[in-house]
Structure 1
Amino acid sequence: MKYCIVSILVACAAAIQAAPIPKSAVDDQDVNSRMLKGIETIAADASVPAAGALVQQLRQAEGKKLHLARPAGQGPATHDEAAESVAVVGIGYKCNKCPNWHMRSSGTAWIASSDGILVTNYHVLNNLPEDGRACVYLKNGQVHAIREVLASDKLRDVAVFRIGATGLRPLAVGPDAPVGSNLHLVSHPEGNFYMYTGGFVQRYTLRTAPNSQYTVDKNKSQRKEPIAWLVASCDYALGSSGGGIYNDNGEVVGMVSSTTTLYTPPRPAPVTPLPEGFEKSMIANQAAHAQNTATGEPNDALHKDAGNKTDAPEAREPEPSAARFQMMRHPQMVLRHCVAGYTLREILYGE
């Protein structure tokens, strides 16, 4: 009987160890490791432009429009398939403490054509380190250098670039999504690679300029015509910038850009909680102080040691003070502003 139980336990343990890992599971550490190895190879390639050169190309490509052929065929049937068209934008850099290359993920990009044209936000590429290298990681594990910036629009927060890869699975930009329709997103918030979130279109809003963080000189960067932005409810965070938001048919209808948090009106909130028995001690203190003032006697040991010099700084005992207050605001809602589909169709397809 004893051996039977042991055999059963061993068999159960073996069965547990043999349990298959879900195919969609993402190893974030492995992604980082592959990107670092890739950037080391890219840095040794003299044909790859430094990040500073890419920033110059980004600014020179302002206002350019492409005339890409719209990808044909059906869109991805599942979100795992959609992830094959999503890339991680990575930045390789060197610090001042060692000769090695370091890696950090910077944002998200999505594939617009099978021959290596991808789309991300302008602000993702705008602040690259001068001597760094920029790359993308694809879902198949390959790492490619960003070779060239093809088109950009600063105020609408769009950048289009090329990598040296072919045979990619692109996403097509679809018609504008109506308010209330479903939205889907695969992005990389805070290094959580290939995270899926869902939501819906909340509204479209008009602005004459984007958030100030994207506008260096507001006086020179203002547009006369307003810009329409899509407001989405799907969650995203730092690292999601540039993620293509797609509809139920797998067509891109927007792209992650920024967030705006709405707060309650300012109101006082205690920073330091009142200690237990605070009010009683205050009343007793005030009564004792009034009595000692009348008799001219010190009201505590510190004052006695100070020889009744109650005005001396060293003679003052810090009395319990009322709780400190500061004006507090509490977050109520996050508005997620996205590049609208019409902007992407105009820049990519020349429509």
Structure 2
Amino acid sequence: MKYKLFTYVAVLIGITAVAQAKPLPAVVDDSEIIKSLSNGLGDLIDKGNVPTSKKLASQLDKKTCKIDLPTVSSEKPRNIYDKCADSVVAIASVYKCNKCTEWHNSGAATGWILTADGVMVSNYHVFGGKDVSGFGIRTRDGRVAPVVEILAASKRDDVVIFRVEGKGFIPMALGPDARVGEELHIIAHPDSRFYTYTSGRVSRYYRKRMPAKDGEGPAIMAVTAEFARGSSGGPVMDVNGNVVGMVASTQSIYYPPKKKTDKQGPFQMVIRNCVPVSAIRALVEKPGA
């Protein structure tokens, strides 16, 4: 009896030790990320190391770029977040008001790393139409780097490929086109809630409606995974961690109002629009081609 009791206690102690030894998940400090990105980018601008938004805007007409792309992964990771989160960055621009000397953040969006030498991807609308002192990124581990060049862009497909200063980044591979119904994963920064993970499936591909004068609209990948403002530019990944799309926009559907005096009827659902990976590939040429 004593032997059985000793064995039972030993097993409990072993289980407790294993449970205590398991590290806690990393806790995201949203305020610290915003502060370090704003201050870090502001310091770089003060040193004269950051191109202005006007200079970058003049490069948005570049159609393609030549890049050595990472190899596609065929192995399913144990945890998709652990594998891919370090390849997701926060993008921000800063400005100074006329009331103080501090740098202010004009809002954060999402981007992701395409090559180890600083080539990254986000939405065209993140960069287009802004008059700010400069753009920069912050990696998950706190590294801040300025955006120094636009390599290729498509306003129609809402894609921009850009380069930041530095090397040694952790890239993500471009995967194959995802089929309707396939599982997918997103890591993004909705409303400055940094490194938020959601999952879902591809719900359909459709052609965006455009005015007749603008011709055929771009192909859109609709998904069921949730995201919100600030998620723009976030990578949409397959089960192996390859990028199969990119977060772009949302559209809310409301039932028609019953009364003419009502602005809108009851809310029904949100359509979540993403850029398909084929639109990103279209901006990349293989070196030597």
Distance in 2 (CA, whole Å) between partners of 1:251 and 1:141 is: 23
CA contact (8 A) 1:42 1:133 kept: no
Partner of 2:248: 257
Residues 141 and 256 of structure 1, relative CA distance in 2, 3 Å threshold: same
- Partner in structure 2 of residue 156 of structure 1: 157
Q: In the alignment, does 2:28 pair up with 1:26? A: yes
- Classify 1:27/1:76 alpha carbon distance in 2 versus 1 (closer, same or farther; 3 Å): farther
**What pairs with 1:1-351 in structure 2 (closer than 5 Å)?**
22-58=24-60, 60-61=61-62, 64-72=63-71, 74=73, 77=77, 78=79, 79-130=81-132, 132-207=133-208, 209=210, 222=214, 224-268=215-259, 326-349=262-285
Q: Which range is displaced more, 21-30 or 121-130?
A: 21-30
For structure 1, which runs of at least 5 residues remain unmatched after alignment?
Answer: 1-17, 210-217, 270-324
- In structure 2, the gaps of 5 or more residues are 1-19
* 1:37 positional shift: 2.0
Q: Secondary structure of 1:259's partner?
A: strand
Would the alpha carbon gap of residues 19 and 103 (structure 1) be closer, same or farther in structure 2, given more than 3 Å must change?
Answer: farther
The code of the aligned residue for 1:268 comes to K
* Deviation of 1:208 (Å): 5.5
Contact 2:83/2:241 (<8 A) preserved: no
Change (3 A) 1:47 1:327: closer
**TM-score when scaled to structure 2?**
0.85
Asked if structure 2 preserves the Cα contact closer than 8 Å seen for 1:39 and 1:103, the reply is no
> Following the alignment from structure 1 to structure 2, what is the Cα–Cα distance between the partners of residues 103 and 328?
34
Task: For residue 181 of structure 2, give the secondary structure of its aligned residue in structure 1.
Answer: coil
- Amino-acid identity (%): 35
Deviations 1:302-351 (A, max 9, x none): xxxxxxxxxxxxxxxxxxxxxxx635411101111111111111113469
Q: How many residues align?
A: 265
Does structure 2 conserve the Cα–Cα contact (< 8 Å) formed by 1:76 and 1:82?
no
How far apart, CA to CA, are the structure 2 residues paired with 1:98 and 1:46?
Answer: 20
Which amino acid in the other structure matches residue 242 of structure 1?
G
SS of 1:173's equivalent in the other structure is: coil
CA RMSD of aligned residues (A): 2.4
Amino acid at match of 1:145: P
Alpha-carbon distance in 2 for matches of 1:97, 1:21: 45
Amino acid at match of 2:153: S
* 1:58-98 deviations in Å (ceiling 9; x for gaps): 2x32xx11232220264783312211000000111111211
- Would you say the 8 A contact 2:44–2:50 is kept in 1? yes
The CA deviation string for residues 268-324 of structure 1, in whole angstroms up to 9 with x for no partner, is: 39xxxxxxxxxxxxxxxxxxxxxxxxxxxxxxxxxxxxxxxxxxxxxxxxxxxxxxx
Counterpart code for 1:253: V
Query: Counterpart in 2 of 1:7?
Result: none
Counterpart-to-counterpart distance in 1, 2:21 and 2:34: 26
Q: Could you say which structure has the higher helix fraction?
A: 1
Q: Offset of 1:257 from its aligned partner? A: 0.8
- SS across alignment from 1:265: coil
Deviation at 1:267, TM superposition (A): 1.2
Which letter maps to 1:341? V
Q: Is this contact kept in 2: 1:135–1:145, CA < 8 A?
A: yes
